[in-house]
Amino acid sequence: MSSASKQDGPITYETFMSGAWKQNPVFSRLLGLCPALAVSNTAVNSLVMGLASSVVVICSSIIISLLRNVIPKQIRIAAYMIVIATFVTAVDYGIHALSLELYDALGAFILLIVVNCMILGQCESHASKHRVTTAAVNAGGTAAGFTAALLMIGSIREILGFGTFFGITVFGEGFQTWAIFVLPPGGFFVLAVWLIIFAMVQRRKEMSARPQSARSGKEVVHAT
Protein backbone atom coordinates (compact mmCIF):
# COMPACT_ATOMS: atom_id res chain seq x y z
CA MET A 1 0.00 0.00 0.00
CA SER A 2 2.92 2.31 0.50
CA SER A 3 3.34 2.56 -3.25
CA ALA A 4 -0.09 4.14 -3.54
CA SER A 5 0.90 7.11 -1.42
CA LYS A 6 3.26 8.31 -4.10
CA GLN A 7 0.46 9.24 -6.46
CA ASP A 8 -0.81 11.82 -3.96
CA GLY A 9 -0.74 15.22 -5.51
CA PRO A 10 -0.91 18.43 -3.52
CA ILE A 11 -4.10 19.02 -1.61
CA THR A 12 -6.45 21.10 -3.70
CA TYR A 13 -9.93 22.44 -3.55
CA GLU A 14 -10.81 19.39 -5.63
CA THR A 15 -9.70 16.99 -2.85
CA PHE A 16 -12.41 18.43 -0.65
CA MET A 17 -15.12 19.03 -3.21
CA SER A 18 -14.98 15.59 -4.80
CA GLY A 19 -16.24 14.15 -1.52
CA ALA A 20 -18.71 16.90 -0.84
CA TRP A 21 -20.37 17.31 -4.22
CA LYS A 22 -19.46 15.02 -7.09
CA GLN A 23 -19.23 11.95 -4.88
CA ASN A 24 -21.83 13.15 -2.38
CA PRO A 25 -22.39 10.13 -0.14
CA VAL A 26 -26.17 10.44 0.03
CA PHE A 27 -27.31 11.94 -3.26
CA SER A 28 -24.72 10.48 -5.57
CA ARG A 29 -23.58 7.22 -4.06
CA LEU A 30 -26.70 6.40 -2.00
CA LEU A 31 -24.60 5.62 1.07
CA GLY A 32 -25.52 6.20 4.67
CA LEU A 33 -29.21 6.25 3.93
CA CYS A 34 -30.38 4.78 7.21
CA PRO A 35 -29.37 7.76 9.36
CA ALA A 36 -30.13 10.16 6.51
CA LEU A 37 -33.79 9.21 6.72
CA ALA A 38 -34.31 7.83 10.19
CA VAL A 39 -33.33 10.86 12.25
CA SER A 40 -33.81 13.63 9.71
CA ASN A 41 -37.28 14.67 10.85
CA THR A 42 -35.97 17.94 12.29
CA ALA A 43 -33.07 20.16 11.29
CA VAL A 44 -31.43 19.90 14.71
CA ASN A 45 -31.45 16.11 14.70
CA SER A 46 -30.02 16.10 11.19
CA LEU A 47 -27.27 18.51 12.13
CA VAL A 48 -26.27 16.53 15.21
CA MET A 49 -26.31 13.25 13.32
CA GLY A 50 -24.30 14.84 10.52
CA LEU A 51 -21.72 16.25 12.93
CA ALA A 52 -21.48 12.99 14.86
CA SER A 53 -20.87 11.06 11.65
CA SER A 54 -18.37 13.72 10.56
CA VAL A 55 -16.34 13.34 13.74
CA VAL A 56 -16.28 9.58 13.29
CA VAL A 57 -15.36 9.62 9.61
CA ILE A 58 -12.62 12.24 9.98
CA CYS A 59 -11.03 10.71 13.08
CA SER A 60 -11.18 7.18 11.68
CA SER A 61 -9.67 8.33 8.39
CA ILE A 62 -6.78 10.00 10.17
CA ILE A 63 -6.03 6.96 12.31
CA ILE A 64 -6.35 4.53 9.43
CA SER A 65 -4.21 6.68 7.19
CA LEU A 66 -1.54 6.77 9.91
CA LEU A 67 -1.71 3.02 10.31
CA ARG A 68 -1.95 2.22 6.61
CA ASN A 69 1.52 0.70 6.45
CA VAL A 70 1.13 -1.23 9.69
CA ILE A 71 -2.17 -3.01 9.11
CA PRO A 72 -1.78 -6.13 6.94
CA LYS A 73 -4.22 -6.45 4.09
CA GLN A 74 -5.83 -9.63 5.41
CA ILE A 75 -7.16 -8.09 8.61
CA ARG A 76 -7.81 -4.57 7.40
CA ILE A 77 -11.61 -4.68 7.53
CA ALA A 78 -11.57 -6.04 11.07
CA ALA A 79 -9.09 -3.36 12.09
CA TYR A 80 -11.15 -0.59 10.42
CA MET A 81 -14.28 -1.79 12.19
CA ILE A 82 -12.54 -1.66 15.56
CA VAL A 83 -11.28 1.87 14.94
CA ILE A 84 -14.68 3.08 13.74
CA ALA A 85 -16.56 1.37 16.57
CA THR A 86 -14.26 2.99 19.12
CA PHE A 87 -15.02 6.47 17.85
CA VAL A 88 -18.72 5.74 17.58
CA THR A 89 -18.87 4.53 21.17
CA ALA A 90 -17.04 7.66 22.30
CA VAL A 91 -19.39 9.92 20.31
CA ASP A 92 -22.38 8.06 21.73
CA TYR A 93 -21.22 8.76 25.29
CA GLY A 94 -20.42 12.34 24.33
CA ILE A 95 -23.93 13.05 23.05
CA HIS A 96 -25.45 11.26 26.02
CA ALA A 97 -23.48 13.55 28.33
CA LEU A 98 -24.32 16.69 26.35
CA SER A 99 -28.07 16.43 26.12
CA LEU A 100 -30.57 13.75 27.01
CA GLU A 101 -33.17 15.19 24.62
CA LEU A 102 -30.84 14.79 21.66
CA TYR A 103 -29.77 11.37 22.86
CA ASP A 104 -33.37 10.20 23.04
CA ALA A 105 -34.24 11.69 19.67
CA LEU A 106 -31.35 9.95 17.94
CA GLY A 107 -31.51 6.79 20.03
CA ALA A 108 -29.85 3.69 18.66
CA PHE A 109 -29.01 5.51 15.44
CA ILE A 110 -25.89 7.03 16.98
CA LEU A 111 -24.54 3.54 17.57
CA LEU A 112 -25.65 2.56 14.08
CA ILE A 113 -23.21 5.09 12.62
CA VAL A 114 -20.77 2.22 12.89
CA VAL A 115 -22.47 0.34 10.06
CA ASN A 116 -22.84 3.44 7.90
CA CYS A 117 -21.33 2.20 4.66
CA MET A 118 -20.11 5.74 3.94
CA ILE A 119 -17.52 5.54 6.73
CA LEU A 120 -16.15 2.09 5.96
CA GLY A 121 -16.16 3.02 2.28
CA GLN A 122 -14.19 6.19 2.94
CA CYS A 123 -11.63 4.29 5.03
CA GLU A 124 -11.29 1.43 2.58
CA SER A 125 -11.21 3.33 -0.68
CA HIS A 126 -9.44 6.54 0.31
CA ALA A 127 -7.86 6.77 3.77
CA SER A 128 -5.98 3.50 3.47
CA LYS A 129 -4.24 4.69 0.32
CA HIS A 130 -3.38 8.31 1.00
CA ARG A 131 -1.25 10.27 3.40
CA VAL A 132 -2.79 11.78 6.49
CA THR A 133 -3.45 15.32 5.28
CA THR A 134 -5.03 14.24 2.02
CA ALA A 135 -7.10 11.60 3.78
CA ALA A 136 -8.31 14.07 6.38
CA VAL A 137 -9.28 16.72 3.82
CA ASN A 138 -11.09 14.23 1.64
CA ALA A 139 -12.88 12.75 4.65
CA GLY A 140 -13.79 16.30 5.66
CA GLY A 141 -15.34 16.79 2.24
CA THR A 142 -17.33 13.60 2.49
CA ALA A 143 -18.42 14.55 5.99
CA ALA A 144 -19.48 18.03 4.84
CA GLY A 145 -21.41 16.52 1.94
CA PHE A 146 -23.14 14.09 4.26
CA THR A 147 -24.03 16.75 6.82
CA ALA A 148 -25.30 19.07 4.10
CA ALA A 149 -27.43 16.30 2.62
CA LEU A 150 -28.92 15.48 6.01
CA LEU A 151 -29.64 19.14 6.66
CA MET A 152 -31.30 19.52 3.28
CA ILE A 153 -33.59 16.59 4.01
CA GLY A 154 -34.14 17.56 7.64
CA SER A 155 -34.95 21.21 6.97
CA ILE A 156 -37.62 20.39 4.40
CA ARG A 157 -39.17 17.81 6.68
CA GLU A 158 -39.19 20.13 9.68
CA ILE A 159 -40.50 23.16 7.79
CA LEU A 160 -43.37 21.27 6.20
CA GLY A 161 -44.00 18.79 9.01
CA PHE A 162 -43.77 21.04 12.06
CA GLY A 163 -43.91 24.49 10.46
CA THR A 164 -40.63 25.36 12.18
CA PHE A 165 -36.96 25.64 11.29
CA PHE A 166 -34.48 24.87 14.07
CA GLY A 167 -37.42 25.28 16.40
CA ILE A 168 -38.31 28.77 15.12
CA THR A 169 -41.80 29.13 13.73
CA VAL A 170 -41.67 29.88 10.02
CA PHE A 171 -45.30 30.16 9.07
CA GLY A 172 -48.07 32.08 10.71
CA GLU A 173 -50.74 30.74 13.02
CA GLY A 174 -52.97 29.41 10.31
CA PHE A 175 -50.43 27.01 8.85
CA GLN A 176 -51.71 23.45 8.83
CA THR A 177 -48.64 21.21 9.29
CA TRP A 178 -48.17 18.25 7.00
CA ALA A 179 -47.55 15.57 9.60
CA ILE A 180 -46.72 13.08 6.84
CA PHE A 181 -43.34 14.74 6.35
CA VAL A 182 -42.07 13.93 9.82
CA LEU A 183 -43.32 10.36 9.48
CA PRO A 184 -41.34 7.65 7.67
CA PRO A 185 -43.04 8.04 4.25
CA GLY A 186 -42.12 11.73 4.23
CA GLY A 187 -38.47 10.81 4.57
CA PHE A 188 -38.63 8.67 1.46
CA PHE A 189 -40.50 11.32 -0.53
CA VAL A 190 -38.15 14.15 0.40
CA LEU A 191 -35.12 12.03 -0.42
CA ALA A 192 -36.63 11.08 -3.78
CA VAL A 193 -37.27 14.72 -4.65
CA TRP A 194 -33.72 15.74 -3.70
CA LEU A 195 -32.35 12.87 -5.80
CA ILE A 196 -34.28 14.14 -8.79
CA ILE A 197 -33.02 17.68 -8.26
CA PHE A 198 -29.45 16.43 -7.82
CA ALA A 199 -29.67 14.35 -10.98
CA MET A 200 -31.06 17.33 -12.92
CA VAL A 201 -28.26 19.62 -11.78
CA GLN A 202 -25.59 17.04 -12.59
CA ARG A 203 -27.19 16.47 -15.94
CA ARG A 204 -27.26 20.15 -16.80
CA LYS A 205 -23.57 20.45 -15.90
CA GLU A 206 -22.69 17.56 -18.17
CA MET A 207 -24.76 19.09 -20.95
CA SER A 208 -22.98 22.40 -20.78
CA ALA A 209 -19.66 20.56 -20.71
CA ARG A 210 -20.43 18.53 -23.84
CA PRO A 211 -22.94 20.53 -25.84
CA GLN A 212 -22.65 18.20 -28.82
CA SER A 213 -23.82 14.93 -27.36
CA ALA A 214 -26.13 16.52 -24.82
CA ARG A 215 -28.89 17.19 -27.31
CA SER A 216 -29.38 13.51 -27.84
CA GLY A 217 -29.37 12.81 -24.11
CA LYS A 218 -33.09 12.35 -23.80
CA GLU A 219 -33.35 9.86 -26.60
CA VAL A 220 -30.44 7.83 -25.27
CA VAL A 221 -32.11 7.31 -21.94
CA HIS A 222 -35.40 6.34 -23.47
CA ALA A 223 -33.68 3.75 -25.56
CA THR A 224 -32.11 1.99 -22.60
Partner 1 sequence: MSEKMEPAMPPAGRLILILSVIALISGVTIVFAYQITAEPIARNHRERLERAVFTVLPGAEQRVNYSLDDDGLARLAGEEIDRANVYAGYDSGGDLVGVALEASAMGYADTIRMLYGYSPQRECIIGFTVLQSSETPGLGALIATDPDFLANFECLDAELNEEQTALENEIRTVTRRDAEEDWEIDGITGATVSSEAVGRALRESAERYLPLLARYRDDLPEQMEAE
Partner 2 sequence: MQPESLSFIFLNAFLINNFVLASFLGLCPFVGVSGKLNTAWPMGVAVIFVMLVASVCAYAINSILVYFGIEYLRLIAYIAVIASAVQLVEMTIKKFSPTLFRLLGVYLPLITTNCAILGMALFQTFNEYNFVQSIFYSLGAGFGFMLALVLMAGLREQLEFSNLPYVATSGAVAFMLAGLLSMVFMGFAGLGG
For partner 2, the binding residues (CB under 8 A) are 30-31, 33-34, 37-38, 78, 81-82, 85-86, 88-89, 92-93, 108, 111-112, 114-117, 120, 180, 183-189, 191-193, 195-196, 198-200, 203, 217-218, 221-222
Say if residues 1 and 120 touch (Cβ distance below 8 Å): no
Query: Shortest CA distance to 42 belongs to which of 106, 114, 98, 97?
Result: 106
Label residue 39 exposed, middle or buried (CB < 10 Å: 0-12, 13-18, 19+). buried
- Given partner 1, partner 2, none, residue 74, with its beta carbon under 5 to 8 Å by kind, binds partner 1
- Is residue 96 a contact residue for partner 1 (CB under 8 A)? yes
Kindly identify the residues of this chain, within the stretch 7-36, that bind partner 1 according to CB under 8 A.
none
- Is residue 167 a contact residue for partner 1 (CB under 8 A)? no
**CA distances (Å), origin 138, targets 83, 125, 151, 160:** 18, 11, 20, 33
- Given partner 1, partner 2, none, residue 189, with its beta carbon under 5 to 8 Å by kind, binds partner 2
Distance (Å, whole) CA 150 – CA 40: 6
- Given partner 2, partner 1, none, residue 99, with its beta carbon under 5 to 8 Å by kind, binds partner 1
Of 66, 77, 179, 196, which one interacts with partner 1 (CB under 8 A)? 179
- H or E segment at 161? helix 132-162
What is the closest distance, in whole angstroms, from the C-beta atom of residue 48 to partner 1 in the complex? 15
Distance (Å, whole) CA 59 – CA 26: 20
Label residue 34 exposed, middle or buried (CB < 10 Å: 0-12, 13-18, 19+). middle
* Chain residues in the site for partner 1 (CB under 8 A): 4, 41, 67, 70-75, 78-79, 82-83, 85-86, 89-90, 93-94, 96-100, 104, 161-162, 177, 179, 182-183
